[in-house]
Amino acid sequence: MPATLEAGYGRVVNVSSGYGSFGEGLEGPAAYSLSKAALDALTLKLAAEVRGDVKVNAACPGWVRTRMGGSGTRRCVEKGAETIVWLATLPAGGRNGGFLRDRRRIPW
């Protein structure tokens, strides 16, 4: 963050999960849910501290076909990555401090 703030430009996209969302009930294994909730708290704190054209957001890719998600999952990796890429390339007026899935805000 220091170099990003010094440059006055940057995009931070923390890859989180609905399992870390208080709004979605912190479902899932305890260690995983708590680590994602901590990442969400870090996202909010950093987003409140940044200045210039620096944006800090979190994204939940959803349950995707990966080693963790399993081969039976219907959501492809490319679909899961769309919001992450979008947040990483936000324009100057883009959002800061959001938690998103499919480019839509989801509850913290």
Q: What number of CA atoms fall less than 13 Å from residue 96's CA on the CB side? A: 18
Strands, sheet with 9-15, edge to edge from the N-terminal-most edge strand: 9-15, 53-59, 99-101, 104-105
Give the amino acid at 48. Answer: A
What's at 17, amino acid-wise?
S
Q: Which of 5, 24, 28, 32 is catalytic?
A: 32
32 given a catalytic annotation: yes
By CB atoms closer than 10 A (0-12, 13-18, 19+), residue 86 is middle
Active-site amino acid positions: 32
